[in-house]
Structure 1
Amino acid sequence: MTELTREQQTELEAAAFRRLVQHLRQRTDVQNIDMMNLAGFCRNCLSNWYKDAANEAGIDLSKDQSREIVYGMPFDDWKKLHQKEASDAQKAAFEVNKPPHE
């Protein structure tokens, strides 16, 4: 395995993050509740992790700002355009699968 410098690792991680965000922006058919039920995280989690990283680095980033970075638009706009009402089965699965959050 090739040894990466810290800078290379950071650049590759950033590129992978950008690709993940782009993929999620394109897959608006995939609902957050589906992601939570299958993977234990969703777009909101990703935006929260982004905000946490910014805040830990001393950068004042709001929840709304971090969500706009992940969603590519204000969260309320995304919800109006793409979010569907969760089914009873999705809600029940979420109650079983939801990870504990701080």
Structure 2
Amino acid sequence: MELLDRGRLLTEQSHPLSHDLDQLSPAEFVALCHQADREAIAAVEQISASLAAAITLVTRSLRQGGRLFYIGAGTSGRLGVLDAAECPPLLH
């Protein structure tokens, strides 16, 4: 995959049911959001053991003086600022 060819990544695709959000009634919109939330929860459940292992490794590394790097822009930058404020007090 080319560096700039990210369109095939699942994270870069729109949700298949969200193409006509402006055509939905408020009740349909809420139902769609609820369905997407349920899908996200199911996805996290599938990888919960791996996620817990990653958290353990990152926590151990940070407690030993390691650093956490964020690569990206936009949301990842804002999350980096948030974590920079929250992680040190939680880990010491």
Classify the TM-score, shorter chain: 0.3 to 0.5
TM-score (norm 2): 0.40
Q: Which has the higher contact order (CA 8 A, sep 6+)?
A: 1
TM-score (norm 1): 0.37
